[in-house]
Amino acid sequence: MKIRLENIVKRFDDNTAVNDFSAEIESGELVTLLGPSGCGKSTMLNMLSGILYPTEGKIYFDDDDVTYVSPEKRGIGLVFQNYALYPHMTVLENICFPLEIKKVPKKERIERAKKMAQLVHVDGMLNRKPGQLSGGQQQRVAIARALVKEPRLLLLDEPLSNLDARLRIEMREEIRRIQLETGVTTIFVTHDQEEAMSISDHIILMKLGVLQQYDKPQYLYDQPANCFVADFLGNPPINKIEGVAKDGKVLLGDDEVDSTIRVDNVPDNTKVFLSFRAESVILDNASPLKAKVVMTSVMGKEIITSFILGGKEVRGYMNSDVELKRDQEIGISFKKTGVFVFDFESGERYL
Ligand X SMILES: Nc1ncnc2c1ncn2[C@@H]1O[C@H](COP(=O)(O)OP(=O)(O)O)[C@@H](O)[C@H]1O
Residues that bind Mg ion (CB under 5 A): 42
When asked if residue 14 is in the footprint of ligand X (CB under 6 A), the reply is: no
- Nearest approach in angstroms of CB 3 to ligand X is 18
Q: What is the DSSP letter of 41?
A: H
269 binds, among Mg ion, ligand X, none (CB under 5 to 8 A by kind): none
15 binds, among ligand X, Mg ion, none (CB under 5 to 8 A by kind): ligand X
When asked if residue 53 is in the footprint of ligand X (CB under 6 A), the reply is: no
276's CB contacts (< 8 A; 6+ apart) are: 238, 239, 314, 316, 334, 338, 339, 340
- Nearest approach in angstroms of CB 8 to ligand X is 12
Cβ contact 206:22 at 8 Å: no
Q: Which stretch binds ligand X (CB under 6 A): 10-18, 111-119, 194-202, 338-346?
A: 10-18
For ligand X, the binding residue among 3, 5, 8, 17 (CB under 6 A) is: 17
When asked if residue 346 is in the footprint of ligand X (CB under 6 A), the reply is: no
Closest CA to 209 of 26, 61, 55, 81: 55
109's CB contacts (< 8 A; 6+ apart) are: 96, 99, 100
Task: Fill in the per-residue mask, 28 to 47: x = in contact with ligand X (CB under 6 A), - = not in contact.
Answer: -------x-xxxxxxx----
40 binds, among Mg ion, ligand X, none (CB under 5 to 8 A by kind): ligand X
When asked if residue 15 is in the footprint of ligand X (CB under 6 A), the reply is: yes
Closest CA to 95 of 134, 142, 151, 136: 142
Q: Alpha-carbon torsion 67, 70, 75, 80, what sign? A: positive
- Nearest approach in angstroms of CB 43 to Mg ion is 8
CB-nearer residue toward ligand X: 16 or 182:
16
319 binds, among ligand X, Mg ion, none (CB under 5 to 8 A by kind): none
When asked if residue 8 is in the footprint of ligand X (CB under 6 A), the reply is: no
Distance of alpha carbon 233 from alpha carbon 38, whole angstroms: 18
Q: What is 69-129 written as a DSSP string? A: --GGGS-EEEE-SS----TTS-HHHHHHHHHHHTT--HHHHHHHHHHHHHHTT-GGGTTS-
CB-nearer residue toward ligand X: 37 or 265:
37
With H, G, I as helix, E, B as strand and everything else as coil, classify residue 38.
coil
Under rule CB under 6 A, how many of the chain's residues touch ligand X?
A: 11
Distance of alpha carbon 269 from alpha carbon 131, whole angstroms: 63
Q: Which residues bind ligand X (CB under 6 A)?
A: 12, 15, 17, 35, 37-43
